[in-house]
Amino acid sequence: MLRVVLYVALLAGLFAGAVLWTGNAIGAWEPPTVPLHAPTLSTETPKGKKQQPKKHHAPVKKHKKH
């Protein structure tokens, strides 16, 4: 019985060690470097240019019920 407990503990330890070792190797434990916002989306308007109003499309015609 003691031998089974030791084997299970050994296998669990090997599995945990493999997970931690591989996670460290691929950099999984380091904090991600995520920008605050996407660089393509700018919240500021370019200086010197006025913001033009958006064009609205023609209203959608509703179908008549038969």
Helix, coil or strand: residue 24 = helix
Per-residue pLDDT of the chain in tens (66 residues, 90 and over written 9): 999 999 999 999 999 988 888 887 777 777 777 767 666 655 666 666 566 666 666 666 777 776
User: Is 0.75 topped by the overall pTM?
Assistant: no
Helix, coil or strand: residue 27 = coil
Which pLDDT belongs to residue 11? Answer: 96
